[in-house]
Chains A and B, each alone.
Chain A
């Protein structure tokens, strides 16, 4: 096995001043620790490592990708391809091309007082205290993927909602990989919801048409302070040449609510990791995900939820429909720590294999170090209900349509976790089109 890590470490060692020059102090400050963590780890996780049964991070990073450390402007055809409007959902939008954040003109005009969405560099200048306090505070450098991202991330997105501000409109990030030559983008997002603040974010991941092989390494840190509420919706519609390694870290404080939902509609190889630390009492956490795989798509979701405080309620639902030669993996663990009393934690993973070559690996785990908890987990993998299919056929619904309707219905409880109704409608429509065989539902947003 080729060790993919060293090409990146060498790149960093040879170009440290360039890397730092296009970045900012809070990011630069963590690079030494990240480098040490990587040298200790020695390699990126490979297939078969614990927690990485079906996905090799090493292989995802192994190709000879370029990293645009000097920030050469790479164009992306945003206006024509990725307007990404959700009908009836008015959002405040920003665009990320590779790692570079660009606000739309309406965003700058319409961001209400107390709400910030800007590049991390800009934030480091304007809100050095907040960025300095929280950047890297939730992400875990023990994860080689996160350490590598911390080593090379130069730019990113900063979202901040001040105390007590409830943002009515959703924030939207249209995230595009544009790779005229093979490219790895190191992306970073820091979201801080101060006490009592509320915010919902929709992130749409795309790959620019005509791009070469590309990789997105992304670390998202979400800090939900006391009594705040954060909704985080992530939809991936990339292509077969795209690899995505997205690590979402959440710190949830007392009385905070988070709702995270990730959807993979089209992709190449994807690994999403969700790590939730529930640090305060009386919290509510929803974590859900769906994956629709065909061709040779590979989708791996992993969740790691730690209840460290009492009276937390968490609910996880992950659903996959896999066709052709698609492969899926889900590993989820719930840990109820010592002293975390009256916790309710549920996890379910249900999968449909629509072809005989599709494969699903699932591993739900529950670690309970406490009494007074209610927990459950379950996983099923099967086919579409043949009785339901026949029933629908006898009513005249053609078999193919009946299959599509059942697959869509299967995803209903994931869609229903989304609190933005227009987005639910949009996603239903996109899923319908996806099952109809259309590769990109988002293009229709235009």
Chain B
């Protein structure tokens, strides 16, 4: 933990079409921290991750988000990625016809170009892929397949963490990473996330259930309800939610 602030979200408001979903979010994340955001369905958890990642389907109507001193909301989604933001999708998108290799090569080289570095050689790229695949035990065969096409639920989630390992983000947002995972896959995915954790980066885990938090230990737990963070606590808050549900917070 440090005094440095990685992400500072202040009174963030956002809408989709004409419906306001985020109604003033405040959140501060420092390097080395793990934050869990929990909340019932429809509370705005996925919207928060989408808005931070720059999904054009949402319109920011107020507030700010500062990412290591940069105005995050002014950046394109790709530049947010280059600056070190990573979103692991709840439903990773299938892209028929684009191979995993080409996809990752484009991603890696786009980031290098952003920082005026030369393109990675074919040999170095393959080495990087091999190295990072091991972290989530991702099958080599998937590399020649189209992105996420025909992947099982578990493979898709592993693939997300694999991409995270390659891109080495400063802040990762894991949106319902546990949904659709059996216990073994959950262990592998959580193990990957824990391996990638350093004192310099941070993670926001968005989840319904406490289950994932047995594997990825949060420092802070926030409860999102109707577009606002209504309660913040330590890991014990997650256990309390598991026991009591969300109803007691709704008042």
| Residues 368 to 396 of chain A near chain B (Cβ within 8 Å) | 385-388, 390-396
Does A408 touch B at the CB level, under 8 Å? yes
Residues B97 and A397 in contact, CB atoms below 8 Å apart: no
**Pair A390/B56 contact, Cβ less than 8 Å:** yes
Q: Which residues of B contact A396 (CB under 8 A)?
A: 78, 81-82, 107, 110-111, 114, 167
B97 near A410 with CB under 8 A, answer: yes
A interface list, Cβ under 8 A from B: 385-388, 390-399, 401, 405-406, 408-413
Answer whether residue B34 sits at the interface, using C-beta atoms and an 8 A cutoff. Answer: no
Please give, as numbers and ranges, the residues of chain A lying within 8 Å of B114 by CB-CB distance.
Answer: 396
A375 to B147, CA, bound (A): 30
| CB < 8 Å neighbour of B98 from A387, A394, A406 | A406
Contacts of B76 in A (CB 8 A): 393, 398-399
B58–chain A nearest beta-carbon distance, Å:
11
- B55 contacts partner chain A, Cβ-Cβ < 8 Å: yes
Rounded to whole angstroms, the CA-CA distance of A385 and B55 in the bound complex is 13
A391's closest neighbor in chain B, by CB?
B93
Q: Contact between B78 and A405 (Cβ–Cβ < 8 Å)?
A: no
Q: Is there contact, CB below 8 Å, between A391 and B97?
A: no
**A residues less than 8 Å from B80 (CB atoms):** 394
The residue from B56, B57, B96, B107 contacting A395, defined by CB atoms under 8 A apart: B107
Of the A-B pairs whose beta carbons lie under 8 Å apart in the complex, a sample of 8, sorted by A's number, is A385-B95, A391-B92, A393-B81, A394-B89, A395-B104, A397-B110, A406-B97, A409-B96
Task: Flag if B53 contacts A394 (CB, 8 Å).
Answer: yes
Contacts of B70 in A (CB 8 A): none
Q: How far is the CB of B131 from chain A (nearest CB, A)?
A: 18
Residue of A nearest to B94 (CB): A388
User: Most B CB atoms within 10 A — which of A386, A396, A399, A406?
Assistant: A396
CB distance from B16 to the nearest CB of A (A): 13
Interface-centre pick from B77, B102, B110 (highest chain A CB count, 10 A): B77
Contacts of A412 on B, CB cut-off 8 Å?
Answer: 96-97
Question: Given A386, A388, A394, A408, which contacts B81 in the complex, CB threshold below 8 Å?
Answer: A394
Given the known inter-chain contacts A394-B87, A397-B107, A401-B106, please indicate yes or no for A387 contacting B93, CB distance below 8 A.
yes
Q: Is the CB of A388 within 8 A of B54?
A: no
Q: Which residues from chain B contact A395 at a C-beta distance below 8 Å?
A: 81, 103-104, 107, 163, 167
Query: In the complex, what distance in Å separates the CA atom of A226 from the CA atom of B102?
Result: 42
Residue from A386, A394, A397 with most neighbouring chain B CB atoms (10 Å): A394
A394 to chain B, nearest CB (A): 5
Question: Which residues from chain A contact B86 at a C-beta distance below 8 Å?
Answer: 394
Residues on B with beta carbons closer than 8 Å to the beta carbon of A393: 54, 76-78, 81
- Residues from chain A with a CB closer than 8 A to the CB of B103 are 392, 395, 397, 405
Task: List the A residue with the shortest CB-CB distance to B87.
Answer: A394
Contact A398 B110 (CB under 8 A): yes
Given A397-B106, A399-B76, A401-B110, check contact A409 B95 (CB 8 Å): yes
Known: A391-B95, A392-B95, A401-B106. 19 other contacts (CB 8 A): A388-B93, A391-B92, A391-B93, A392-B106, A393-B78, A394-B54, A394-B78, A394-B80, A394-B89, A395-B103, A395-B107, A396-B82, A397-B78, A397-B106, A397-B107, A399-B76, A409-B96, A410-B97, A413-B97
